Structure 1
Amino acid sequence: MIDPRADGRLAHLPSHLKLALLDRDGTILDETGYLVDPKRVVLLPGAARAVARLNAAGVPVAVVTNQSAIARGMLDEAGLERIHSRLADELAHEEAHVDLWLFAPYHPDHCEPDPKEAERRKPGAGMLREALEHFGVAAGDAVTIGDSDRDLVAGERAGVASLLVLTGKGASELERAQARLGHDPACARDLAEAVELALAAGR
């Protein structure tokens, strides 16, 4: 594991982690495209234990996920609730839980223009700011973890430290992030390593 105190890319992680903002697909769940069937909920290896690790450390966990399948007419909010209920059950097998679920159903190609909803959709920072407000946590005390450059941009816009995981779309998104930033983003192999890095930064 990379020592966050020795790696300049990770030096921005909060010294007192008080909130973890997690992407869903490709970060906690296997990336399967548009997930519309609860039976297709498959946790990535080590993801539940990573969430449990945050729970045990007293760090609230918020899931922040784009869900344009709703805008596309492939899923409704009741269906999404069933998927998240199944995910919660799977996490519970490892004594893990999510404290807050936030989702952005908006997609500009399938909805009437709505600046507020557009800002909620990553790479907008709306959902991240909602979570910070919900828990009363300053941006500098939170981390966002996801498998897309959109997650990194959302974190930057919210003033939240970000980690890119190389699961899901992460390997291909790494090149996108490198091109945008002009350098390597802070990254980790998977959610388990990302969580350990985020927690270790405060030791």
Structure 2
Amino acid sequence: MNPRATDRARVAVLFDRDGTLVEDVPYNGDPARVRLLPGARQALDLLRAAGIPTGVVSNQSGIGRGLLTDIDVRRVNDRVDTLLGGLDTWVYCPHAPEAGCECRKPRPGLIVEAARRLGRLPADCVVIGDIAADVQAARAAGARGVLVPNAATLPGEVESAPSTAPDLLTAVRRLLVGTKDAR
């Protein structure tokens, strides 16, 4: 998807949660441990001001591994949602990696479901994440992927990403500049 050719009324932005919006605390079930990453709140505020729907698509294999409960993940998501001022939808995969489900990134299921909930086609979505599985899931769903690397991102993931940004706020600003005159 080329954001310059996208009608702003149709675009939606989906984010990975851990390592993209909040600090990655492995298998976090404690809302008190949630810390926003720099620029996350500002990025969401810009998207809301532009009328662009947002969502989160996140693998939460700790549920399938027995390390977290669904309630734990929902409590953490609620805390993130509160700190960010509210997102329009939350979709997560509770399965262990070996389950072979269609929702676990890099498969497309989370993106397809989030797009459906937002009344969009996957091709109208931009997925922003910090690892290759995020951009691969976007590609598999027909969405556009943007990689925002961090210390956990492998160099090969950066090299193979179709689009990158140095930080979350820059990624969102670039998207907004690309869609501003699309109507």
- What's the TM-score, normalizing by structure 1? 0.81
Does 1:65 find its partner at 2:58?
yes
Please tell me the residue identity of whatever aligns with 2:75.
Answer: R
Query: What percent of counterpart residues are identical?
Result: 36
CA distance in 2, matches of 1:49, 1:19: 17
After the TM superposition, which parts of structure 1 deviate over 6 Å for at least 4 consecutive aligned residues? none
CA distance in 1, matches of 2:177, 2:118: 22
CA distance in 1, matches of 2:122, 2:76: 29
Does 1:159 find its partner at 2:142?
yes
Residue 100 of structure 1 aligns with which residue?
Answer: 89
Please tell me the residue identity of whatever aligns with 2:141.
Answer: A
Cα 1:89–1:162, aligned 2, differ >3 Å: closer, same or farther?
same
1:168 Cα shift? Answer: 5.4
Does 1:16 find its partner at 2:16?
no
Select the structure of larger CA radius of gyration: 1
Alpha-carbon displacement from aligned partner over 1:54-111 (angstroms, at most 9, x marks no partner)? 11111111100000011111110111111112112222xxxx31110111011134xx
The 8 Å contact of residues 13 and 55 in structure 2, kept in 1 or not, is answered as yes
CA distance in 2, matches of 1:105, 1:28: 19
CA distance in 1, matches of 2:138, 2:163: 12
1:202 Cα shift? Answer: 1.5
Does 1:132 find its partner at 2:115?
yes
What 5-or-longer segments of structure 1 have no aligned partner?
Answer: 1-10
RMSD: 1.8
Which residue of 69, 73, 76 maps to 1:76?
69
Number of residue pairs aligned between Structure 1 and Structure 2: 177
Residue 41 of structure 1 aligns with which residue?
Answer: 34
